[in-house]
A and B are shown apart, each in its own frame.
Chain A
């Protein structure tokens, strides 16, 4: 069984006190980028904070990415209790590889 290295994004939380959750928007990189509020998205809920205070989210948990390697534009928004979304914090041209290489051939002991 192959082992896929975890891929996690980290971002400082929004300073607004009304934030109840975060959402990740994903768009395969295009020229120009089509990353927008209509792109595919993943609800991150309220991610756990790392030791340095940044919030972390495992991209392996995003169904839209799990099986498709490629270059992606990522956007994260903060959401309040009535569904308002903040401006998007983006990172463009992220290379994501969820596929393990083929295993080597059979092992022989001489």
Chain B
């Protein structure tokens, strides 16, 4: 029994030493200030969302979500690579809140994420007015 106890203590000491040498997971910084640029092309309901790039010690990606207010549903989700800072999406008509966050892999190759930014968050819109994306229905053609 004494041998097993010593072995157990030795194991615990070794395990703790190994853990101490590992990188602790870090969360990417919040992408702020984020300057949002919105381009609305109403003829074909394509929306372009733009944001300021985020720099981080590891490769990152951006994750986007679009929430439709009238239907109370998440409409679209996209992962955008680091080298891009714009994203085109075709949305059904209505009002949308746009959400964005950065993602990265930690030392253990697990996904870690920043907090979400949104188009109704003043910190994420660089202190400018909050906004929704609104896509319009195209009108009918001329009446005869």
Which residue numbers of A lie inside 8 Å of B, CB to CB?
9-19, 22, 54-55, 74, 76-80, 82-91
Whether A82 lies near B139 (C-beta < 8 A) is no
Nearest chain A CB to B67 CB, angstrom units = 14
The number of residues on chain B lying at the interface, defined by a beta carbon within 8 Å of a beta carbon of chain A, is 16
Give the number of A-B contacts (CB < 8 Å).
75
Which residue numbers of B lie inside 8 Å of A, CB to CB?
44-45, 70-71, 92-94, 136-144
Question: Known: A80-B93, A84-B70. Contact between A16 and B137, CB under 8 A?
Answer: yes
Question: Known: A16-B45, A82-B70, A84-B70. Contact between A11 and B140, CB under 8 A?
Answer: yes
Whether A76 lies near B143 (C-beta < 8 A) is yes
Which of A14, A22, A83, A88 gathers the greatest number of chain B CB atoms within 10 Å? A14
Q: Which residues of B contact A13 (CB under 8 A)?
A: 140-141
Q: Which residues of A contact B136 (CB under 8 A)?
A: 86-87
**Beyond the given A14-B137, A16-B45, A80-B137, could you list 4 further A-B residue pairs with CB under 8 A, ordered by the A residue number?**
A12-B140, A54-B144, A84-B93, A89-B140
Question: Known: A16-B45, A16-B93. Contact between A82 and B141, CB under 8 A?
Answer: no
